Chain A
């Protein structure tokens, strides 16, 4: 009981802080935080795909690119309003995601990672080579989602999109589908023997998380105003993996916290240039080595311990 209330109160504080934060942030940090929402959405949806469903895809950024470029190109070439374009982007990412999920049905573990890595690489090369359509490495200028100079609408729009997507994902995880996804992750054959249509749920989780990545990519493109093939690079994917790993790949809120933390940290360390990615690599390795459930869980445990020092251990509660 105490623990639940404490947790709810904690999230309420976080939520209020996020709502009020723009009052305290200057233009630069407002921009940074609005981009953090993009990464948070990427990290959380990847955590669902990789952490809950066990599909270690390296193609997540590719779906953000598909969402972003679809929306951007529709806006540039067909003058479609950004909101409609973003919807099309979500749809395109969902469809391609579903197809990739279907293609990957027989691939397990590292094989799936290899497949998705190769897919992402091909997509990146297409974005570079087909420059007549995509403007190649020069980048595609994408019209903004909101008029005016302020990033404030983007901040709240990004935050709303994040909450909306998290809500959907949490609903899925709380439903029976959540149990099926975890069972599939734990042991596919046993899940099948238990009557779970693992193919269906794997395709579904790819479709859903790709749609979310597509949404994030669309938002990112219309916010930043320019899309380049760099969005699909391995370091970008690495950033998202780092965020999810630090936050705990099996916790969506953890991934969000991890994303904001890492993104802000990498901004703070911006003067150190490439060195911050060295640190990120180190953080990924060390977190995985010593705190596999992520640093967020570790931190909340420590805080919880501080708050209730004399709490007697619940009998029979699982240790992990």
Chain B
């Protein structure tokens, strides 16, 4: 029993890291564009398939395919941002929150169903990063999980470095703090919006490509992670990248332990996805600014 719980927690840690990657993307989009991307889950899904086809059609090695997937979803994100989100930056749209909810939700509908049409409704599984697994007593953790977790951790570290050290990362940060102030010091906010949305999409896509060998691909695979990513982002405090990493790991472990500890195993599995949603609801109710977010200034 103890081993089973441990395994669930370890698996949770792995998925948590991957979700944290997707969530970091959501966070970047939120902090720079000030919108919640309801289409994040489908970008994650598209990343998974992009990786799959890069391997099968172009013969790219599995790990490089993750990077290819990120490049593809980056372009997709920029395209969407240029076509659909530009009205947000003008006064043409009066209710920006609502506009963003609707168009990103439309993106979700469009791509998920396009996925079913183009990729087919059946699961696809790309080849493993590394075959085999690590044995812990009677239980096994596959190398795929370990590789994916390490890859995700690496990407998150690279992201943190990029945000802190590179001039582009600092420009993004400046726009997220104040669009007007950034414009004054010569940063073109419109360019930053496109980059932020592309980067956020790429992180979702990378997460999708990393998870593909573990859980296999389906066009609806993004439904849950989009909720999970929201959980993580809200948990970590909207707009905080380190927060989303901690939030992701926390969520993964809570889900893993929830499934491991729930008395009725059948229902535990059925409810495994409810733990995340419940966590989201509780966080929103108790601490809408997240565990690490600043207290919300309601009126200033």
Q: Do chains A and B touch in the complex (CB under 8 A)?
A: yes
Chain A residues packing against B (C-beta within 8 Å): 50, 54, 56, 103, 106-111, 113-115, 117-119, 121-122, 125-126, 128-130, 189, 234-235, 238, 241-242, 245, 249, 273-275, 277-278, 280-285, 288-289, 292
Give Cα distance in the complex from A101 to B100, angstroms: 22
8 nearest CB pairs, A to B: A281-B110, A281-B109, A284-B106, A285-B106, A110-B36, A129-B270, A109-B97, A277-B113
Is B277 in the interface zone, CB < 8 Å from A? yes
Q: A189-B299, A289-B87 are in contact. Are A238 and B117 (CB under 8 A)?
A: no
Which of B93, B98, B114 has the largest count of A CB atoms less than 10 A from its CB?
B98
- The answer to whether the Cβ of B103 comes within 8 Å of any Cβ in the partner chain is yes
Chain A residue contacts of B101, Cβ below 8 A: 56, 109-110, 113
Contact A277-B288, Cβ < 8 Å, known A56-B98, A119-B281, A289-B87: no
Known A-B contacts A118-B280, A129-B267, A277-B113; A285 and B103 likewise in contact (beta carbons under 8 Å): yes
Whether B109 contacts A110 by the Cβ 8 Å rule is: no
| Complex-state Cα separation, A285 to B87, whole angstroms | 12
Cross-chain contact A288 with B103 (CB below 8 angstroms): yes
Residue of B nearest to A285 (CB): B106
Chain A residues, CB < 8 A from B231:
118
Cα distance, A170 to B278, chains bound together (Å): 35
Given contacts A238-B108, A288-B99, 7 further A-B contacts (CB under 8 A): A121-B273, A122-B278, A125-B270, A238-B105, A278-B117, A281-B107, A281-B110
Indicate if B227 sits at the interface (CB-CB under 8 A).
yes
Of residues A118, A119, A189, which shows the largest number of chain B Cβ atoms within 10 Å of its Cβ?
A118
Least CB distance from B120 to A in Å reads 10
Known: A110-B97, A288-B99. A121 touches B117 (CB 8 A): no
The answer to whether the Cβ of B152 comes within 8 Å of any Cβ in the partner chain is: no
- Chain A CB within 8 A of B43 CB: no
Tell me, in angstroms, the Cα distance from A245 to B285 when the chains sit together. Answer: 29
Which chain A positions have C-beta within 8 A of B83?
289
State the CA gap A289–B93 with chains docked (Å). Answer: 9
User: Residues of B contacting A126 with CB < 8 Å?
Assistant: 274
Contact of B288 with A282 in the complex, beta carbons under 8 Å: no
Question: Can you list 28 A-B pairs with a CB-CB distance of less than 8 A?
Answer: A103-B285, A106-B288, A109-B97, A109-B101, A110-B35, A110-B36, A111-B288, A113-B101, A118-B278, A118-B281, A121-B273, A122-B274, A125-B274, A126-B274, A129-B271, A189-B298, A234-B223, A235-B112, A245-B102, A249-B98, A278-B117, A281-B108, A281-B113, A282-B106, A284-B105, A284-B110, A285-B84, A292-B93
- Which B residue sits closest to A272, measured CB to CB? B117
In the complex, are the beta carbons of B84 and A107 less than 8 A apart?
no
| Minimum Cβ distance to chain A for residue B299 (Å) | 6
Please provide the chain B residues from 76 to 106 with a CB less than 8 Å away from any CB of chain A in the complex.
Answer: 83-84, 87, 93, 95, 97-103, 105-106
Contacts of B112 in A (CB 8 A): 235, 277, 281
Q: In the complex the two chains form, is A278's CB within 8 Å of B97's CB?
A: no
Q: Mark B264-300, 1 if CB is under 8 A from A, else 0.
A: 0001001101100110110011001000000000110
Minimum CB–CB distance from B172 to chain A (whole Å) comes to: 20
Tell me the bound Cα distance from A292 to B106 in angstroms.
14
- Inter-chain CA distance A220–B230, complex, in Å, is 32
State how many angstroms separate the Cβ of A263 from the closest Cβ of chain B.
15
| Distance in angstroms between the alpha carbons of A274 and B118 in the assembled complex | 10
Given contacts A122-B274, A122-B278, whether A282 and B110 have CB atoms under 8 Å apart is yes
How many Å lie between the Cα of A109 and that of B107 in the bound state? 19
Contact B110 A121 (CB under 8 A): no
| Cβ-based interface call for B234 (8 A) | yes
CB-nearest residue of chain A to B93: A292
Task: Say yes or no for B134: interface residue by CB 8 A criterion.
Answer: no
- The residue from A103, A111, A121 contacting B274, defined by CB atoms under 8 A apart: A121
> In the assembled complex, how far is the CB of residue A170 from the closest CB belonging to chain B, in whole angstroms?
22
Within 8 A of A (CB), among B183-239: 223, 227, 230-231, 234
**Distance from B83 Cβ to chain A, minimum over Cβ atoms (Å):** 8
* Contact status B38-A113, CB under 8 Å: yes
Whole-angstrom distance from the CB of A244 to the nearest CB of chain B?
10
Residue B111, interface by CB 8 Å: yes
- Closest residue of chain B to A234 (Cβ to Cβ) is B223
By a CB distance below 8 angstroms, the chain B residues around A284 are 102-103, 105-106, 109-110
B116 within 8 A of A: yes
Return chain B residues, CB-CB under 8 Å to A119. Answer: 277, 281
Closest to A238 in B: B109
Min CB gap A193→B, angstroms: 10
A263 to B213, CA, bound (A): 38
Q: Are A121 and B113 in contact (CB under 8 A)?
A: no
Separation in Å of the A160 CB from the closest CB of chain B? 31
Contact across chains for B102 and A278 when beta carbons are under 8 A apart: no
Q: Which B residues touch A189, using CB under 8 A?
A: 298-299
Taking CB atoms, residues of chain A closer than 8 Å to B234 are: 111, 114
| B113 touches which of A109, A274, A285 (Cβ 8 Å) | A274
Contact between chains at B87 and A115 (CB < 8 Å): no
- Chain B nearest CB: distance from A127 CB in Å? 10
- Name the residue on A nearest B264 (C-beta): A129
* A130 contacts across to B, CB distance below 8 A: 267
Residues of the A chain whose Cβ atoms lie less than 8 Å from the Cβ of B274: 121-122, 125-126, 129
How far, in Å, is A103 (CB) from chain B's closest CB?
A: 6
**A contact residues around B227 at 8 Å (CB):** 117-118, 121
